[in-house]
């Protein structure tokens, strides 16, 4: 399902825009007066959000509902954006994950995590790069995670996928640093996106609680630091420092036990 308006000026593209951090990114950019192309799964009231932000902030908005866990949908989205909009910013926020025994995970679940977190981020960036390069200055912000810095039992595939996002972003930054496309990556912890998530994270104990963040504050800091050309954005530097200082032989069982408490 699509909504197209005639392009005027330039647009920021936000994936996973209907809720959580993606919605916070959309709201922050709208507040700053930027036109938006919002992307999310069908059935998440994306049209309502698009119209609300347009009316509230006097900006132009468009929306596109699709499942980015399907490769063809990513290609189709990139084509639609390139044919209709001049893009100066891409925020690859859409992602998925979960906790549980690896042996009990379905193949479909594993494929969806890798497709959405790894392939969709890479392919959409690739498809929109010529569009972004046509602007005088443009930005790519990829959303990784604090999980990128430590492997964790019962959450095996998600941290690995976010490690890819972090590494991909750093490499792409280096490749494009002399161009007009600036690349950054943010590594947030868990966020207060719903009561269920807050309750689940708090079960992890102190390690979970110190990384629990407000999406609006994360989005505000990310956009500010992106425009300041911060290549790696750490919204919770204390928890990042703790993870960096603790050796892996301590960190790995510590994080794994925290996730086991979440599953209890």
Residues annotated catalytic, as ranges: 158, 162
Residue 108's contacts (CB-CB under 8 Å, 6 or more residues apart) are none
In angstroms, the first-to-last Cα distance of the chain is: 39
Q: Which is it for strands 35-40 and 61-65: parallel, antiparallel or unpaired? A: parallel
Question: CA neighbours within 13 Å on the CB side: how many for 125?
Answer: 27
């Amino acid at each position: 399902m699509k909504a197209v308006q005639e392009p005027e000026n330039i647009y920021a593209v936000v994936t996973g825009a209907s809720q959580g951090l993606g919605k916070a990114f959309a709201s922050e950019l709208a507040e700053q007066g930027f036109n938006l192309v919002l992307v999310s799964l069908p059935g998440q009231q994306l049209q309502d959000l698009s119209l609300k932000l347009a009316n509230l902030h006097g900006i132009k908005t468009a929306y596109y509902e699709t499942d980015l866990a399907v490769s063809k949908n990513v290609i189709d989205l990139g084509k639609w954006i390139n044919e209709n909009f001049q893009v100066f910013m891409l925020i690859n926020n859409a992602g998925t994950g979960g906790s549980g025994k690896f042996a009990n995970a379905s193949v479909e679940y594993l494929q969806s995590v890798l497709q959405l977190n790894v392939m969709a981020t890479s392919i959409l960036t690739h498809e929109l790069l010529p569009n972004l390069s046509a602007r005088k200055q443009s930005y790519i912000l990829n959303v990784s995670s604090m999980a990128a810095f430590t492997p964790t039992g019962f959450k095996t595939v998600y941290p690995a996928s976010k490690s890819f996002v972090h590494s991909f972003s750093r490499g792409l930054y280096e490749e494009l640093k002399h161009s007009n496309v600036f690349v950054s990556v943010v590594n947030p912890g868990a966020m207060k996106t719903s009561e269920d998530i807050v309750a689940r994270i708090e079960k992890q104990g102190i390690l979970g609680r110190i990384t629990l963040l407000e999406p609006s504050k994360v989005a505000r800091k990310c956009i500010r630091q992106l425009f300041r050309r911060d290549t790696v954005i750490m919204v919770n530097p204390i928890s990042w420092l703790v993870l960096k200082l603790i050796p892996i032989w301590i960190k790995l069982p510590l994080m794994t036990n925290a996730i086991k408490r979440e599953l209890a």
